[in-house]
Amino acid sequence: MKSRKIYLDNNATTPCDPRVVDTMLPYFYEKSGNAASRNHPFGWEAEEGVDYAREQVANLIGVSEKEIIFTSGATESDNLALKGVFEMYKRKGNHIITLKTEHKAVLDSCDKIEKMGGEVTYLDVERDGRVDLKKLEAAITSSTVLVSIMWANNETGVIQPMKEIGEICEKHGVLFMSDATQAVGKIPVKPKEVGVHLMAFTAHKMYGPKGVGALFVNRKNPRVKVTAQMDGGGHERGMRSGTLNVPGIVGLGKACEIADQEMLKDAARLSKMRDRLESELCKIEETYINGNVDHRMPHVTNISFKHLEGEGLMMTFNQNIAVSSGSACTSASLEPSYVLIALGLGDDLAHSSIRFSLGRFTTDEEIDIAIDMLSKGVNHMRDLSPIWEMYKEGVDLDSVEWSEH
């Protein structure tokens, strides 16, 4: 019998909900028009689908449909928000503040802004992964135009103190942007209630299709403008040109509608499962949870199995269980996660971490299998490890001088 595959990597992407797929299907053939074709019924049907989806998306996050700009995903939304604000407001100031633990879409956009003459402050986070509000406020200068802080971290699930950050930004007259990719559709996210002026998110992290996302841009008090990063036909109120991905947008809309109805129920179920997974795995010796456990997403846990290589551990079960390692393969080396290093973890703990992200279709039986396979995998790897043997013999591994040869 072929062993079943278990998917616990929902922070990377989620399976598309069958209800979303059913809603999208007619827009591939029966209603195949271009939403910008205003002179015949095919275009009208497509435009109607887009308009309805815009309402569904706006309803989920409590904003006006006129504040939703459709994009190809959160990476484009991040780029449009950061570079678009920098270009639009550079007469006012050229300084942006962000965190070292942001997603690469934000960090690399900030790197590009620096090359364009901007100044960027990359704040450290505390050991639990949250920003120190005093340090954030102290970093604001007269030339600061934007603070960009993610709602929930993709690796640890840690949720930032959004309302308090919003209050600091309002006090200093600074725009507040958030990459809320990992939060929207999983927990209640209302940008206007916490003072967020721009917010990026995507369909494929909430059981919608890949290749479509949105950017919320505040229209009143303050009215926020961004300079378009893509030139063309002036679609999406001139902020994002390009023929609209009608089936994708319709799918995003449906995913938002389902999330609005079901996310609280999903979150309650998933947090119980996550807690069970966590408590069983933490029975294993020298196991640590990374990030703040009181302020985090309900479906995520990031666990380090000390004196092990995360990648090596994954190889004991990765034909069967999809998870993510804290190490990222680069062409020349195996780098530990920059997010975990920013939390102050040493290379040993950062290298030994595994991220588990549960989802709508995760079952209790799958969690049982994962617990069993992980426990066996950790014990197997440690049985083979001379470092584990030294640790068990009481050797202080921090004081060992390792030879390069």
> Which residues are catalytically annotated?
329
CB 290 within 8 A of CB 340: yes
* Angstrom distance (rounded) from CA 77 to CA 103: 12
Give the three-class secondary structure for 48.
helix
Say which residues have a Cβ less than 8 Å from residue 389's Cβ, sequence separation at least 6. Answer: none
Query: Phi/psi class of residue 234: alpha, beta or left (left: φ > 0; alpha: ψ in -120 to 50)?
Result: left
* Angstrom distance (rounded) from CA 377 to CA 388: 14
| DSSP structural state of residue 78 | H
- Least Cα distance to 171 among 148, 151, 190, 195 occurs for 195
Q: Any bridge partners for residue 146, and if so which?
A: 96, 175
| Strands (DSSP E) found in 86-134 | 95-99, 119-123
CB 216 within 8 A of CB 194: no
CB 375 within 8 A of CB 308: no
The sign of the torsion formed by the CA atoms of 316, 318, 322, 327 equals: positive
* Angstrom distance (rounded) from CA 202 to CA 204: 6
Beta-carbon neighbour count of residue 325 at 10 Å?
A: 22
Tokens of 20: 């979303």
Beta-carbon neighbour count of residue 111 at 10 Å?
A: 14
DSSP secondary structure of 315-373: HTTTTTEE-EESEEE-SS-EEEPHHHHHTT--HHHHHTEEEEE--TT--HHHHHHHHHH
How do beta strands 287-289 and 213-217 pair? unpaired
Beta-carbon neighbour count of residue 203 at 10 Å?
A: 31
